[in-house]
Amino acid sequence: MNQIREQLLEKIASRQAQVAVIGLGYVGLPLAVEFARAGFRTVGIDLDQRKVDALNGGQSYIGDVAAAELSAAVTAGRLRGTSDFGVLRECDTVSICVPTPLSKTHDPDLSYVVSATEEVAKYVHPGMLIVLESTTYPGTTEEIIVPQITANGGRVGEDVFVAFSPERIDPGRRDYVLKNTPKIVGGVTPACREVVMALYGNVTDRVVPVSSAAAAEMAKLLENTFRAVNIALVNEVMMMCDKLGLDAWEVIDAAATKPYGFMKFTPGPGVGGHCIPLDPQYLSWKMRTLNYNARFIQLAEEVNASMPAYWVNKVVEALNDARKALKGSQVLVLGVTYKPNIDDLRESPALDIIRLLEERGALVAFHDPFVKSLAHEGLKTPCAELTAERLAASDCVLVVTNHASYDWAWVRRHAPLIVDSRHVLAPQREP
């Protein structure tokens, strides 16, 4: 039995292992808090000093992390933040939770992963576990992480341990959180898998081991490609029903009564967030390097990317029916985050909708209970106070994000014209 592995496993079992989390965003902060709650001494590392200062002050900047829980972990001395990677000298495990965006040409941008790994490589030592959580293409862990970690001669599975465990954070969700969502883990070697299973078994109710890091990477991409393709399908069904004069929501609800063989997805203004629009493109890119055309992924992206234009055209049609032109009309957009009840604007289709409306001459304002300005998104669109007078003065109200705090009956009473991309204002159908 490998003595280095046994010592690390013992440290994990006894909660003596010191844990590091690189990246304190939507994925990293909840993970760091969960490690601290499990009894591990945890350090969160981020180059954004504002996040580090907030963490050390016990202030949560992520909606899914309760300030009281964060503050308790900090006060107890189990959690702290820093921008100094030198702390890795004393750490036994490192979880990398950094962004993996796409470039303008839809190629993977792994610069954050590479940079984080370079820092880890400076301080890697025997008995260290390195886990990549950032979503990426199959092969990343072995092609990028392993060579840097072993550059000084360390042996994977004997001296150091490397694994991939994809994040499954769904911002704003309350029923499934990190603790009760099964955690996939894939090690570069069987020994790596054993160690990563031991670590994550302390912070999640169920660990799901797979045969390799690449299998874990692929599983994550399958999850989000499945969603992207099915969202594209129902979006296209909505457009087909539109052409046929049918109510797409009635059709979907009817199909959803089948107790087997059908999973309900709903149409909308497009897809947003860091996962659904981006993750399938990582798989598509990887397959292009192998001379394979991922047709479903490309078609799904085409359909989903067309939805903002579809809903802008619906605004044009509604205004035309009211004998008004889009140019010069007052359009109020309700909800701009990519999903309800959170403050996340990443890849939100509302941003494309607003840009298209403004390009066509509409006078656009927005309201969102979670967002006060779009300036950081490059937009100068004003934020409007939501009042009966403002609704009445709008030539068209476009519902993009169905936040629970909106009183839809009140909106319907005061807005003269509504285009509803989320089907929240539809009258009840007769049976």
Residues that are catalytic: 275
CA distances from 223 to 79, 89, 166 (A): 31, 35, 11
What gap in Å lies between CA 231 and CA 372, rounded to an integer?
Answer: 29
Task: Report yes or no: 106 and 285 within 8 Å, Cβ to Cβ.
Answer: yes
What gap in Å lies between CA 372 and CA 386, rounded to an integer?
Answer: 12
What gap in Å lies between CA 45 and CA 49, rounded to an integer?
Answer: 10
Packed helices 279-288 and 295-321: angle between N→C axes, nearest 10 degrees: 140
Kindly give the pairing relationship between strand 183-187 and strand 160-164: antiparallel
Characterize 302-320 residue by residue with b for buried, 16 or more Cβ atoms within 10 angstroms of its Cβ, and e for exposed: ebbeebbebbbebbbebbe
Q: What strand order describes the sheet that includes 18-22?
A: 79-82, 41-45, 18-22, 93-96, 128-132, 160-164, 183-187, 207-210
Kindly give the pairing relationship between strand 183-187 and strand 207-210: parallel
* Largest separation between any pair of C-alpha atoms in the chain: 80
What letter represents residue 247's amino acid?
D
Residue 275: count of CB within 10 angstroms of its CB:
23
CA distances from 21 to 55, 87, 240, 265, 417 (A): 13, 11, 47, 34, 49
The residue written with tokens 């694994």 in the block is: 163
Give the contacts of 245 (CB within 8 A, at least 6 positions apart): none
Long-range contacts of range 107-113, CB-CB < 8 Å, 24 or more positions apart? 107/285, 108/136, 108/137, 108/281, 108/282, 108/285, 110/136, 110/140, 110/144, 112/23, 113/140, 113/144, 113/145
What gap in Å lies between CA 398 and CA 419, rounded to an integer?
Answer: 5
The residue written with tokens 């192998």 in the block is: 290
